[in-house]
């Protein structure tokens, strides 16, 4: 999940740096640098290996290697644990150790490469899609963009709007899922509807086939409105 091409150097560069480090530490050292195509590499198949260097954080990985070695009929490796170096300059919100996560955090807001010019895209309105899980910061970023003059379209609010009585999807949703999803005041009971569709892929698709095109249409309408406002 951490793969960001701009922050991970090519294999050849990383191998060259490792080679330079090993020769600096002990020129007479015999070593072999191999690319890893899977999480284990040769550690679970090489009978000549005797020791595996792990950190406080990767000890469980070392134990997993030994489990695989035993399954393959090989002796366990000695696990040599090293302490992690502390980062003296870490901020309050960063990890204490020297960490690539801290590096990525410090790079937030840095332009890693210039925007690509795409002649097929209109110069305006410029549409930005904010996605992410619960708590990922969508609302905060949207608020900041709004303060900078962006026209905000809240897809969650549109999702609710399509269900209201008289809304574009109301009649079709009731027809598809039955009168039992309707409250006494005529509104759709989203909990009852949710219980009908979640865990049932066929019903969920039936619902999204009704709702999503209407939401997309409403989004496009609001984009046109934003364009009209300049």
Q: What is the mean pLDDT of residues 184-207?
A: 89
Q: What is the DSSP letter of 112?
A: S
pLDDT exceeds cutoff 70 at 34? yes
What pLDDT is recorded for position 4?
Answer: 60
Q: What is the pLDDT of residues 80-102, one digit of tens each?
A: 999 888 888 888 888 888 887 88
Are 193 and 177 spatial neighbours (Cβ–Cβ below 8 Å)? yes
Identify the CA nearest to 62 among candidates 74, 76, 75: 76
Angstrom distance (rounded) from CA 46 to CA 66: 12
Mean of the per-residue pLDDT values of the chain: 89
pLDDT exceeds cutoff 90 at 69? yes
What pLDDT is recorded for position 120?
Answer: 83
Percent residues over pLDDT 90 in the chain: 50
Band the pLDDT of 172: cuts 50, 70, 90. Answer: very high
pTM above 0.75, yes or no: no
Domains of the chain: 5-85 (3.40.50.620), 138-229 (3.40.50.300)
Tell which wins on pLDDT, 103 or 168. 168
What pLDDT is recorded for position 213?
Answer: 94
Are 225 and 195 spatial neighbours (Cβ–Cβ below 8 Å)? no
What pLDDT is recorded for position 174?
Answer: 92
Are 59 and 76 spatial neighbours (Cβ–Cβ below 8 Å)? no
Q: What is the mean pLDDT of residues 158-186?
A: 90
Q: What is the mean pLDDT of residues 190-209?
A: 89
Band the pLDDT of 118: cuts 50, 70, 90. Answer: confident
Band the pLDDT of 7: cuts 50, 70, 90. Answer: low
What pLDDT is recorded for position 9?
Answer: 80
pLDDT exceeds cutoff 80 at 43? yes
Q: What is the mean pLDDT of residues 193-207?
A: 89
Beta bridge partners of 133: none
CA diameter of the chain: 83
pLDDT exceeds cutoff 60 at 3? no
Please tell me whether the peptide bond between 125 and the residue prior to it is cis, using omega within 30 degrees of 0.
yes
Q: What is the mean pLDDT of residues 147-167?
A: 90
Q: What is the mean pLDDT of residues 19-23?
A: 94
Q: What is the mean pLDDT of residues 34-42?
A: 88
Q: What is the mean pLDDT of residues 2-17?
A: 76
């Amino acid at each position: 999940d951490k793969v960001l091409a701009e922050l991970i150097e090519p294999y050849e560069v990383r191998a060259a740096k490792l080679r330079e480090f090993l020769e600096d530490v002990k020129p007479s050292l015999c070593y072999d640098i191999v690319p890893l195509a899977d999480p284990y590499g040769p550690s679970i198949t090489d009978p000549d290996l005797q020791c595996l260097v792990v950190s406080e954080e990767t000890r469980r990985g070392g134990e997993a290697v030994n489990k695989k070695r035993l399954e393959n009929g090989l002796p366990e490796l000695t696990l040599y644990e090293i302490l992690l170096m502390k980062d003296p300059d870490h901020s309050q919100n960063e990890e204490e150790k020297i960490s690539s996560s801290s590096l990525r955090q410090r790079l937030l807001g840095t332009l890693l490469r210039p925007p690509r010019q795409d002649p097929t895209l209109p110069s305006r309105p410029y549409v930005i899609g904010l996605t992410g899980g619960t708590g990922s910061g969508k609302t905060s970023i949207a608020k900041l963009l709004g303060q900078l003059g962006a026209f905000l379209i809240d897809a969650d609010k549109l999702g609710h709007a399509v269900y209201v009585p008289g809304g574009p999807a109301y009649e079709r949703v009731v027809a598809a899922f039955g009168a039992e999803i309707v409250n006494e005041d005529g509104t759709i009971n989203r909990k009852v509807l949710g219980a009908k569709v979640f865990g049932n892929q066929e019903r969920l698709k039936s619902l999204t086939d009704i709702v999503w095109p209407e939401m997309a249409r409403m989004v496009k309408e609001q984009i046109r409105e934003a364009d009209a406002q300049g």
